[in-house]
A and B are shown apart, each in its own frame.
Chain A
Amino acid sequence: MVTTKVMDLEAQVWDALATVPDPEIPAVSVVDMGMIREVVITGSQARIVVLPTFTGCPALPIIKSDVAKAVRALDGVDDVKVDVSFTPPWTSDRITADGRKKLEEFGLAPPTGTGPVLVTQIGLPKSAICPFCGSKDTHNENPFGPTPCRALYYCNACRNPFEQFKPV
């Protein structure tokens, strides 16, 4: 059955992608982050469409090459094509429930909100939930941080600085 084979291969590609870490947050995979828009299998060719979290993310070339490498290693794949797209724009609600949990365990507060935020309403919450002690008694110190996707917060309860993945 050709269809079954294609579906099998597609599932294998998704499984392989689930092992590719975000280079800047190795606790989560590119699948957890919702960065994979689609996987298209044509014969033995796999085409993967990646949505960058932030346009200027310097990790993008690494992600592309890691994705290609992981998929190329699969039996039945002879050719891999990795395309970058901005359609739809990556939004922070694409991070999976599993991904959010892993971010928290990594010490990074997941972005707040569930659905995609309207562009005019994008902004930082006054307080984020501290990934260390769970307190909401926190405040924003800086809308920017060590990477384009993170903001800096401080927890008034456990007195730890922490980072939040920006809602976007």
Chain B
Amino acid sequence: MSDSLVALLTGLADDELVLGHRHSEWTGFAPHLEEDVAFSSIAQDEIGHAAAYYSLLAELTGDDADRLALGRDKNEYRNAILCERPNGEWAYTLVRHWLYDHADALRLEALENSADANLAALATKIRREERYHLIHAESWMKRVSRGPVEGRTRLADAVGRAFPETLGLFEPFELEEDAVKQGWLPVPSDELQARFFSEVRAALDTFGLPTEIHTHAAARAEFVASSSGDLISEGDSATTETAGSEDALGGRKGRHTEDFASLWDAMTTQYRAHPGARW
């Protein structure tokens, strides 16, 4: 068993599970029926992907996939903080969905060449399914950004909140250096991040949405700018201005926000109330 492969899979699984859980919160509440169906289906996909990653983990470690998904303490989860943020309003949900699925597509593309054959096969399959998430997110971004000003303003605000926190998706996980060396993760996180920024910035530009990241929140959390040099640091004055956004980084190290505490509480209630239950 390779510890760095376990670390890589844990981050992948936790991202999908936690964001899948957030998406599932739209079931019964989305602004219209078709979107209720869409988000329920996307949630089912993401949680299914998480289940497949947890199964690989279970095989590697001899653990149980359900216990891995629902039986861990909060600080054992390695999802990016972006994934645990509440859905808030519809615009934030869409922007996060769009950003996350772009990042995930790049990650999956890289993982198709993983030295771990099981992970490579799974990534190849999942990437094909995830195309529909991208198509869905893209069509909404187009529609709202070309619509009335109120929608555009809300999208722009949501980009301002969600885009900086995408840094957390590319935060190197524990043992990443070894995972890259072993070929489990063929493209390191900083390289994936550079690809992500160039792709997403070009798209945001065509939508007429902000393309710059203000990293004040991330800067405080020992963030090192990538080689693309695209990040704007707001310097000392900005480090005080972190109210409400906390840190974008830390999730890959098990440091989560209050938002995660309430999500974890809801997500694991059943499992904790009936340990070992089967259905």
Contact = CB atoms under 8 A, between A and B. Distances in A.
The judgment on whether A and B are partners is yes
Interface of A: 52, 54-58, 85-87, 89-91, 119-120, 122-124, 141-148, 152, 166, 168
A159 B124 CA distance: 38
Nearest to A85: B121
B58 interface: no
B125 A144 contact: no
B48 A148 contact: yes
Nearest to A60: B48
Nearest to B131: A122
Contact of B136 (A85, A143, A146, A147): A143
Interface residues of B, number: 28
A32 B37 CA distance: 27
Contacts of B13: none
A116 to B, nearest CB: 9
Among the interface residues A52, A85, A87, which one has the most CB atoms of the partner chain B within 10 A?
A87
Q: From DSSP, what is the main secondary structure of chain A's interface residues? A: loop
B34 A141 contact: yes
Interface string B127-138: 111011001100
B57 interface: no
Interface stretch (B39-47, B69-77, B145-153, B155-163): B39-47
A45 B132 CA distance: 39
Q: From DSSP, what is the main secondary structure of chain B's interface residues? A: helix
Given A56-B45, A144-B37, A87 B121 contact: yes
14 contacts: A54-B48, A54-B129, A57-B48, A85-B121, A86-B124, A123-B135, A142-B34, A143-B38, A143-B135, A144-B37, A146-B37, A148-B45, A148-B48, A168-B129
Contact of B129 (A55, A141, A142): A55
B51 interface: yes
A137 B250 CA distance: 51
B127 A119 contact: yes
Contacts of A143: 38, 132, 135-136
B97 interface: no
A56 B124 CA distance: 14
A145 B45 contact: no
A152 B40 CA distance: 14
A166 B132 CA distance: 9
Given A119-B127, A143-B132, A168-B128, A54 B37 contact: no
A123 B129 CA distance: 10
A111 B65 CA distance: 33
Contacts of B216: none
A89 B121 contact: yes
